[in-house]
Amino acid sequence: MPRQGTAMADKKDLESLRLLIADQDASIRTYLKMALTLVAFHVELDEVTTRDEVIAAVQGKDYDCLFVDEQIPEGGGRNLLAELETMRCDVPVVMMTETRDEQLAVVLLQAGATDSLPKATISSEVLERKLRNIIRLARVERERNAALARFEKTSSRLQYLIDNSPAVIYSAVTSGDFKMSYVSENIRNVLGFKPQEMIDDMDFWIDHIHPNDVQQLLMGIPKLLVEGGQLTHEYRFQHKEGHYLWMHDTLHLVQDENGQALELLGSMVDITERKEMEEALRKEKEEQQGLIQELKKARNQVLQNEKMAAIGQLSAGVAHEINNPVGYINSNLSSLERYVENMIDLIQLYQVTEKTLEKDHPELFSLAQDIREKIDLEFIKEDIGDLVKESKEGAKRVKEIVQGLKEFSHVDESEWQWADIHKGLESTLNIVHNEIKYKAVVKKEYGELPQVECLASQLNQVFMNILVNAAHAIEEKGVITLRTGREGEAVWVEISDTGKGIPEDEISRIFDPFFTSKPVGVGTGLGLSLSYSIVDKHNGRIDVKSVLGKGTSFTVWIPVKHCDEESSLIHHGEREEVSGGTQ
């Protein structure tokens, strides 16, 4: 008899379990009880035969596990699971089934069962293994609940510290409108407002900053979104009573493991008294205060190198995943093309023998003719070659898109490297092809360019932003022209469109953060601002020319060799003529 030694052991030292068996079949209950006498537990058993009796039993006693027939009368096992969940009963339930049905087992687990047990497999070994698993799961659940309780206690302490801290803690979305999603309660003590007032009003933060401080503050946010890290600002914020307080604000960009921006966390501290003291010192010692301001500016000009944002990671991942199956498709299509040609040759050879077949076997010849007409063999012979050719062209296009994604993302390039600007333009065109193809014809007039020391993935982002804007500016069908050239120690990339143009009064504002001429809900107004920050990091510049109703031209200037801002070699002047013709 299996596990007889265990059965004969002294049960005083064994762990006790209270179990409930629910099955209308007395023989199953008896067999289950016999098997449970052999497990290494001290078992206390109750028996019931219907769903209502199960409900009454669990309401009257605490059980460690329920063994329930999946077809128990008065509703069945799945309805019983639903009712137990409604009662918030967390006792583990093992559903006993008539057959080994894996699909049914999955359904029962999804309905809330802890495990399933085909009746044909009932034995002391199986029952002991399942009971041990259930005990282990229950222990894990208890530990999880204890950890949650500790977390809630710690969370309460942390919330108390936040609400009573001198610093106002807040979080905001990274979409560009800087909408608050959380503000700590101590905002009431510092600025007189309720947290919900700041959360409900999308423009609350901007509207309460001193007008003279808004521009400088907003100019730093695009750089933070591009480079990540931390940004500090000091500005005046309007109190509910109307006066302004000086605030020291530290912004930190939270990112996931792939570099995707999640949220902005900030802490504001009232530094009004400190500012008043600084102002008194400034009046007494202007020279020293001037030096302090210069040091602050120097500190705020430190740039951080970072990979391109989440689109680079996503593009590289997609390209990697698609690359292998595309290779299989290309290889298989080439083989298929050869097989089709061989089959057509064989069919044509068979057709040569039709006269002999008609003479010697007229019935077979008639049948072959009927099938030939039914499937339209001549059309298939003409069309199948075109089908294979079109499929190969489609696979080639997919391969080009994948290569474009890989070249566009440059996820391995986190430092300044020498790159081919034309290659970057081509990979970017592949990425935005779907955005442009219905709006414009792309013309390329490339000059001869040297390799450029740059952050290629970020320059690709600049090209993408300008190309997408060009497509959006074209209302029906137009032309987007790409020109490149070199002047001295700098290269330039001009992207022109035949769109509607930019009004003269808006040209001076297009690089401002959050400025957009698009309808509400379309775009964040950060595309060109981010592009400006990237080009500025390269010690370059962006020139804009626009004629309303005729189109716009953006020219990006980048030094051939990366250098410090003080030694930048870019100067205003006439560009050299395009060489190399139209490509």
Report the C-alpha gap between 162 and 151 in whole angstroms.
16
Q: Specify whether 422 is located in the same domain as 537.
A: yes
Asked whether residue 288 is domain-assigned, the answer is: no
Q: What is the pLDDT of residue 450?
A: 93
Strands of the sheet with 42-48, listed across from one edge: 42-48, 16-22, 65-69, 93-97, 115-118
Residue 38's pLDDT is: 84
Q: Which residues contact 274 (CB under 8 A, 6 or more apart)?
A: 246
* The 3-state secondary structure of 33-69, one letter per residue: HHHHCCCCCEEEEEEECCHHHHHHHHHHCCCCEEEEE
Q: What is the pLDDT of residues 210-248, one digit of tens each?
A: 988 888 877 777 778 777 778 888 889 999 999 999 988
Q: Give residue 293's pLDDT.
A: 66
Shared-domain flag, residues 108 and 77? yes
401: tokens are 């898109």
The answer to whether the beta carbons of residues 172 and 219 sit under 8 Å apart is no
Instruction: Tell me the mean pLDDT in the region 451-470.
Output: 88
The DSSP code for 575 is P
pLDDT of residue 537: 86
Closest CA to 490 of 553, 538, 425, 426: 538
pLDDT at 402 > cutoff 80: no
Token pair listed for 404 = 């474009």
Provide mean pLDDT across the span 192-214.
85
Residue 550 and residue 420 share a domain:
yes
Q: Which amino acid is at 426?
A: E
In a domain, 541, yes or no: yes
Q: Which of 164-173, 403-412, 551-560 has the lowest mean pLDDT?
A: 403-412
The CA distance from 42 to 10, in Å, is: 10
Are residues 130 and 20 part of one domain?
yes
**The pair of three-digit structure tokens given for residue 228, joined into one six-digit string:** 């990540």
Q: Which of 13-17, 109-113, 402-406, 409-413 has the highest mean pLDDT?
A: 109-113
CATH code (residue 106): 3.40.50.2300
Give the domain CATH number at 459. Answer: 3.30.565.10
**Where does residue 247 fall: left (phi above 0), alpha (psi -120 to 50 degrees), or beta otherwise?**
beta
Q: Tell me: do 423 and 559 sit in the same domain.
A: yes
Triad 203, 205, 209: Cα angle to 5°: 115
- Model confidence, pTM: 0.35
Does 495 score more than 90 pLDDT?
yes
Rg (CA), the chain: 37
- Domain annotation covers residue 238: yes
Task: Tell me, yes or no, whether 202 and 345 share the same domain.
Answer: no
pLDDT at 36: 86
72 and 203 part of one domain: no
Which pLDDT score is estimated for 162? 66
Kindly tell me if the per-residue pLDDT of 285 is higher than 70. Answer: yes
What three-state secondary structure class fits 445?
Answer: strand
pLDDT bucket at 526, cuts 50 / 70 / 90: low
Contact between 499 and 475 (Cβ < 8 Å): yes
Average pLDDT of the residues in 491-517: 83
Q: State the Cα–Cα distance between residues 147 and 145, nearest whole angstrom.
A: 5
Whether residues 248 and 348 fall in one domain: no
pLDDT for 449 = 92
- Residue 393 in this model has a pLDDT that exceeds 60: yes
pLDDT band at 309, cuts 50/70/90? very low
Counting the structural domains of the chain, the total is 4
Beta strands in 145-192 (DSSP E): 167-172, 180-183
Question: Which of 345, 379, 404 marks a domain boundary?
Answer: 404
Q: Name, in order, each residue with C-beta under 8 angstroms of 131's C-beta and a sequence gap of 6 or more.
A: 17, 39, 41, 65
Task: Describe the strand order of the beta sheet including 230-238 as a list of residue ranges.
Answer: 180-183, 167-172, 261-270, 244-255, 230-238
Q: Based on the fold, state whether residues 428 and 530 are members of the same structural domain.
A: yes
Q: Is the pLDDT of residue 481 over 90?
A: yes
Q: Could you tell me if 141 and 236 lie in one domain? A: no
Q: Which pLDDT does position 401 carry in this prediction?
A: 65
pLDDT in tens, 38-75: 888 888 889 999 999 999 999 988 888 899 999 998 88
Q: Domain range holding 372?
A: 310-404
Last residue of some domain: 92, 116, 145? 145
